């Protein structure tokens, strides 16, 4: 049987897509992100769209379809393309996506899309299609990309955080203090994590792309956390963010920035995105502060508990077999200072 002929194939077009940025970002707790290029959302929430047409929309003759795509060659089978149908007989097959047509007002249609709580984090292009029968009459891409993050407000999500005061501190607060030094000589570094800045958002997602994480990995807070930890340094020759340097000679920092000069992650990630090369130079608290920026942004875990320890400690001959928390306990309790130097940096995330 031949496809039903499209009624509006000679002129009806989608004129605009209103992403309702203010209302959606407020509902998704992302309104503090300082960006004009992206709409930042969270998995497990519903967001609204208004679609405007060149002539009156008739739901009996046509319907709408929204496609979210990520990467160069998106495929449904790879989890890089998601489709939601917006009609009376909506067919939403993929990962519990749900589309609903809320109202029709002559040339304008209001719709909602409910995101699943286990989708892969990343940056998506949004395409809306006008469909009549089996024919796509017209399509239009939204003028902003959609970034979708994990959701600590979603009880069914993987990073749910029950207490609102903790969500405000660990997810939305941009500043903090980093403790470094030894038990007898402690230092406090005031750090601007700047996880709500546009360049930090872009840099963190860029790092995930550099590691070529597939969709299953992007659904896992554990895998994402480990990936960010790998990419904050250059130990694996993976074009990570920071170049470590623990020299005591100022001349060794001449071709970069002395680690003590950094006071936040934004300047570091701005330089990294400009050059796409490791930024010189960093020591433990710089690595930790920069990593925390990515963790606070993407994972929304309780990761502001940042422990940075520089200490010569005695842990007999088997310190390598001790779990990290035991090493920290020894250091904080003031173990004997001997020739074995342990330089320790840790960012702990849990939910």
C-alpha to C-alpha distances, 123 to 81, 282, 335, nearest whole angstrom? 12, 29, 47
pTM: 0.83
Q: What is the pLDDT of residue 177?
A: 83
Q: What is the pLDDT of residue 267?
A: 97
256-301: pLDDT as tens digits = 999 999 999 999 999 999 999 999 999 888 988 898 898 887 765 4
C-alpha to C-alpha distances, 106 to 51, 97, 103, 178, nearest whole angstrom? 11, 27, 10, 57
Q: How confident is the model at residue 183 (pLDDT cuts 50, 70, 90)?
A: low
Rounded CA-CA distance 139/65 in Å is 9
Q: Are the C-beta atoms of 34 and 196 separated by less than 8 Å?
A: yes
Lowest mean pLDDT segment, chosen from 14-18, 56-60, 194-198: 56-60
Region of 103 please: left (phi>0), alpha (psi -120 to 50) or beta. Answer: beta
Region of 225 please: left (phi>0), alpha (psi -120 to 50) or beta. Answer: alpha
Reply yes or no: is the peptide bond before residue 281 cis, omega within 30 of 0.
Answer: yes
Over residues 168-179, the mean pLDDT reads: 85
87-137: pLDDT as tens digits = 655 555 555 688 889 999 999 999 999 999 989 999 999 999 999 888 899
Lowest mean pLDDT segment, chosen from 69-83, 112-126, 308-322: 308-322
Say how many CA atoms lie within 13 Å of 8 toward its Cβ: 24
Neighbouring CB atoms inside 10 A of 22's CB total 9
Q: What is the pLDDT of residue 265?
A: 95
- Please tell me which residue, 24 or 309, carries the higher pLDDT value: 24
The tokens of 147 are what? 């970034």
Q: Are the C-beta atoms of 288 and 345 separated by less than 8 Å?
A: yes
C-alpha to C-alpha distances, 62 to 3, 6, 114, 128, 277, nearest whole angstrom? 13, 8, 21, 13, 49
The CA angle 282-283-285, to the nearest 5 degrees, is: 110
Q: Which residue, among 112, 146, 110, 118, has the nearest Cα to 43 in the 3D structure? A: 118
Q: Which residue, among 65, 49, 13, 11, has the nearest Cα to 143 in the 3D structure? A: 49
Alpha helices in 168-247 (DSSP H): 198-210, 215-218, 221-231
Q: Share the mean pLDDT of the chain.
A: 81
Rounded CA-CA distance 36/66 in Å is 22
Counting residues of the chain whose pLDDT is more than 70, the rounded percentage is 78
Residue 217 reports pLDDT greater than 80 = yes
List residues bridging with 148 in a β-sheet: 41, 122
Backbone angles phi, psi at 311, to 5 degrees: -160, 135
Using DSSP's 3-state secondary structure scheme, residue 208 falls into helix
Q: Tell me 136's DSSP state.
A: E
């Amino acid at each position: 049987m031949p496809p039903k002929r499209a009624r509006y194939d000679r002129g009806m077009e989608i004129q605009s897509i209103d992403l309702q940025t203010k209302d959606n970002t407020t509902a998704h707790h992302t309104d503090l992100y300082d960006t004009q290029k992206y709409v930042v959302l969270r998995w497990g929430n519903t967001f609204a769209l208004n679609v405007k047409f060149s002539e009156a929309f008739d739901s009996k003759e046509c319907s709408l379809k929204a496609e979210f795509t990520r990467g160069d060659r998106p495929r449904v089978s790879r989890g890089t393309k998601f489709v939601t149908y917006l009609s009376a007989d909506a067919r939403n097959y993929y990962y519990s996506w749900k589309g609903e047509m809320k109202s029709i007002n002559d040339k304008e249609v209001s719709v909602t899309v409910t995101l699943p709580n286990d989708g892969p984090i990343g940056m998506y292009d949004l395409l809306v299609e006008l469909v009549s029968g089996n024919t796509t009459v017209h399509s239009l891409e939204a003028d902003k990309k959609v970034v979708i993050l994990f959701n600590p407000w979603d009880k069914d999500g993987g990073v749910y955080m029950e207490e609102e005061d903790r969500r405000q501190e660990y997810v939305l607060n941009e500043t903090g203090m980093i403790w470094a030094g030894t038990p007898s000589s402690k230092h406090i570094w005031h750090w601007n994590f700047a996880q709500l800045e546009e360049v930090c958002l872009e840099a963190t997602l860029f790092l995930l792309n550099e590691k070529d994480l597939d969709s299953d990995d992007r659904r896992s807070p554990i895998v994402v956390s480990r990936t960010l930890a790998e990419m904050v340094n250059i130990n694996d020759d993976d074009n990570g963010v920071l170049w470590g340097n623990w020299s005591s000679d100022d001349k060794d920092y001449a071709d970069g920035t002395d680690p003590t000069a950094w006071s936040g992650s934004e300047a570091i990630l701005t330089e990294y995105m400009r050059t796409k090369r490791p930024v010189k130079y960093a020591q433990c608290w710089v690595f930790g502060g920069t990593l925390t920026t990515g963790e606070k942004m993407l994972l929304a875990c309780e990761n502001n508990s940042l422990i940075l320890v520089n200490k010569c400690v005695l842990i007999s001959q088997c310190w390598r077999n001790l779990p990290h928390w035991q090493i920290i306990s020894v250091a904080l309790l003031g173990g004997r200072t001997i020739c074995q130097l342990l330089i320790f940096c840790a960012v702990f995330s849990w939910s």
